[in-house]
């Protein structure tokens, strides 16, 4: 399976789950090369999510998404991480402010361990996210009004 195919399957799985949970007006578009999903929740709030999919291992993203961030009490943007390598699929619903801060902090810790540099290539922006980092967000559909 290609990365693109994994992303498409994951985006489709997220849309299906949103619909199953009562979301309406579900639409998918791209910002640059990244898919986005918008929907209207049962609570009447419009949300936007960035889907992230994996079949095995870790989710892959970029350190460019990382930045110091504080809690946003009226968050309307989320990342939904879906593991499509298991049945039923497992979903982690992570507020955008939280994942931006987590990526930033994890990368800073990584640089501290490696003397301020990437281990192999300082120009790399690759960043892996293991399920254990986002475990507390597993199945947290209630924050999107879909619990």
3-state class of 94 per DSSP?
strand
| Domain boundary assignment for the chain | 3-144
| pTM as predicted | 0.92
pLDDT greater than 90 at residue 4: no
pLDDT of residue 119: 75
* Interval 17-53: pLDDT, tens: 999 999 999 999 999 888 999 999 999 999 999 999 9
Residue 89 scores a pLDDT above 70:
yes
User: Is 3.40.1350 the CATH classification of the domain at 3-144?
Assistant: yes
For residue 138, give the DSSP letter.
B
Interior CA angle at 125 toward 107 and 122, to 5°? 85
Report the C-alpha dihedral over residues 21, 24, 25, 30, rounded to 10 degrees.
-10
């Amino acid at each position: 399976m290609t990365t693109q195919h994994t992303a498409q399957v994951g985006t489709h799985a997220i849309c299906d789950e949103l619909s199953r949970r009562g979301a309406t007006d579900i639409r998918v578009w791209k910002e640059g090369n990244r898919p986005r999903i918008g929907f209207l929740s049962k609570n009447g709030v419009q949300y936007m999510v960035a889907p992230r999919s994996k079949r095995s291992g870790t989710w892959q993203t970029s350190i460019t998404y990382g930045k110091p961030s504080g809690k946003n009490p009226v968050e309307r943007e989320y990342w939904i991480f879906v593991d499509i390598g298991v049945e039923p699929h497992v979903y982690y619903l992570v507020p955008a402010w939280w994942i931006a801060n987590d990526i930033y902090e994890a990368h800073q810790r990584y640089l501290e361990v490696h003397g301020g540099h990437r281990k192999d290539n300082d120009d790399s922006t690759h960043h892996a996210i293991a399920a254990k980092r986002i475990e507390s967000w597993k199945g947290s559909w209630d924050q999107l009004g879909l619990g």
